[in-house]
Amino acid sequence: MRVSVGPLTSREIVFDIASVTAHHDCPDIPFSIRKNFLKIFDNPPPGSLVERYLGYLDGEPVGYLELDFPQLDNLELVGVDLMVLPGHRRQGLGRALYDVAVERAAAHDRKYLQGSSVDRHPDGKLFAESVGAKPGLTDIRSRLDVTALDEALLAELRSEAEKHAEGYTLRSWVGVPPDDLIDGVAYLEGRLNADAPTGDLVIEPEKMDADRLRQGEQSRQARGRVSYQTGALHDGRPVAWTWIVAEADQPVHAWQSTTIVDPDHRGHRLGMLVKIENLAYVRAAKPRLEAIDTFNAASNTYMLKVNRAMGFRAADAWIEWQKDL
Ligand SMILES: CC(C)(COP(=O)(O)OP(=O)(O)OC[C@H]1O[C@@H](n2cnc3c(N)ncnc32)[C@H](O)[C@@H]1OP(=O)(O)O)[C@@H](O)C(=O)NCCC(=O)NCCS
């Protein structure tokens, strides 16, 4: 077998390799719709510089490497997405792609590689260990079965939360936050890496402001995605915020993304309240929704407790690896 790595020659091949690999790793997560997947190439999030490579076995493209070099913060990191089609593993291609990642990290003066693997298959973990990467953080993917929600329980959780949240008002919107809220939402989003557990990963808070948040949302829309967002406001300022994102033409599946409460406003059940309100908001907009998935650090006991109370159940665990170069 001749192993080689070369520059990207076809975006369609990336979809083919990534969708088959994802289905093998996590068959219960619907993969991105092809036309939306292909939009990422021309619509990256702000501050992301991406390099892409194909891996070949005897001239056939069966592996893919994506390297993300953050440009606005986390300047010592490289995000690594590395995959080989299931039928072509253990022939040295993963290692050849990894060697390119190390070489490109040096060219960009980066000190750490970070990437993740799911626990359902041993391949990713054993590969990461074989290159000397260390587990930095364990994430749990939890799923909410929207077809089997306990409506009475949700109503009860909501009214309990409201009792603790006097003086706060809720507002929901789609996409870019309204002008009067966007600075406050950007502040909350910027806190995320400081507030949520990051384990042993070397990672710094994102430098977030209204412009970056707006551009991120515009790039998401250009990729065919719609985000449903809810904030809790105090004196007109958002102090808690959550959002769910789904592909516009994917009716049955969505992702629960960030939920964050300003430290000065914790203890008022605002995390629970914005999540329950936003769930109702997304269900009204997507009546055929069946499942919502979310990732939380295994050590994030508060968020996991809120999710569990709402009906989320653990689906699998992911390790976020770090290799110090
Ligand atoms: C991780 C992945 C890219 C490895 O691709 P690959 O082409 O099989 O990798 P290689 O053949 O170069 O394997 C390199 C070493 O990893 C280790 N390894 C990989 N899979 C293994 C397995 N199933 N059992 C034992 N060791 C394994 C071995 O040490 C192997 O060397 P060896 O074959 O000489 O013993 C592939 O399994 C994959 O696509 N997994 C899903 C995506 C993923 O998890 N990527 C992120 C990893 S952090």
Domain that holds residue 258: 141-316
Percent of the chain with pLDDT over 70: 100
Using a 6 Å CB cutoff, which residues line ligand 1?
21, 25, 82-84, 89-95, 115, 117, 122-124, 126-128, 130, 321
Does residue 25 belong to any structural domain of this protein?
yes
Q: Is the pLDDT of residue 123 over 80?
A: yes
Does residue 24 belong to any structural domain of this protein?
yes
Percent helix, strand, coil in the chain, to 5, is 35, 35, 30
Quick: pLDDT tens for 240-295: 999 999 999 999 999 999 999 999 999 999 999 999 999 999 999 999 999 999 99
Question: What is the rounded distance in angstroms from the CA atom of residue 223 to the CA atom of residue 192?
Answer: 23
Q: How do beta strands 77-84 and 291-297 pair?
A: unpaired
Please, what is the average pLDDT of the chain? 96
Question: What is the rounded distance in angstroms from the CA atom of residue 61 to the CA atom of residue 144?
Answer: 36
Q: Which of 132, 158, 182 is the last residue of a domain?
A: 132
Q: Which of 86, 105, 132 is the last residue of a domain?
A: 132
Quick: pLDDT tens for 165-210: 999 999 999 999 999 999 999 999 988 767 778 999 999 988 999 9
122 CA → ligand 1 middle, Å: 9
169 Cβ contact partners less than 8 Å away, ≥ 6 residues apart: 232, 233
Tokens representing residue 165 in the block? 């949240």
Quick: pLDDT tens for 13-65: 999 999 999 999 999 999 999 999 999 999 999 999 999 999 999 999 999 99
Q: Is the pLDDT of residue 222 over 80?
A: yes
Quick: pLDDT tens for 127-162: 999 999 999 999 999 999 999 999 999 999 999 999
Find the CATH number of the domain harbouring 215: 3.40.630.30
- Same structural domain, 97 and 154: no
Tokens representing residue 136 in the block? 């930095």
- Same structural domain, 19 and 87: yes
43 CA → ligand 1 middle, Å: 31
- Could you identify the residue written with the tokens 């515009």? 218
170 CA → ligand 1 middle, Å: 47
Pick the atom of ligand 1 nearest to 128's CA.
48
- Same structural domain, 66 and 194: no
Percent of the chain with pLDDT over 90: 96
pLDDT band at 1 (very low <50, low <70, confident <90, very high): confident
* Nearest one of 289, 325, 296 to 312, comparing CA atoms: 296
Q: Hey, how many other C-beta atoms are within 10 angstroms of the C-beta on 258?
A: 16
- Same structural domain, 170 and 297: yes
State which of 60, 81, 90 you would mutate to test the pocket of ligand 1, scoring each by most atoms of that ligand within 8 A of its C-beta: 90
Torsion of CA 225, 286, 29, 226, to 10 degrees: 10
- Could you identify the residue written with the tokens 């995000």? 79
Does residue 322 belong to any structural domain of this protein?
no
Q: Which of 86, 108, 132 is the last residue of a domain?
A: 132
pLDDT for the residue 193: 65
Question: What is the rounded distance in angstroms from the CA atom of residue 234 to the CA atom of residue 232?
Answer: 7
- Same structural domain, 125 and 169: no
Question: What is the rounded distance in angstroms from the CA atom of residue 114 to the CA atom of residue 133?
Answer: 9
Question: What is the rounded distance in angstroms from the CA atom of residue 35 to the CA atom of residue 27?
Answer: 20
- Same structural domain, 218 and 304: yes
How many independent structural domains does the chain possess?
2
pLDDT band at 71 (very low <50, low <70, confident <90, very high): very high
- Same structural domain, 16 and 63: yes
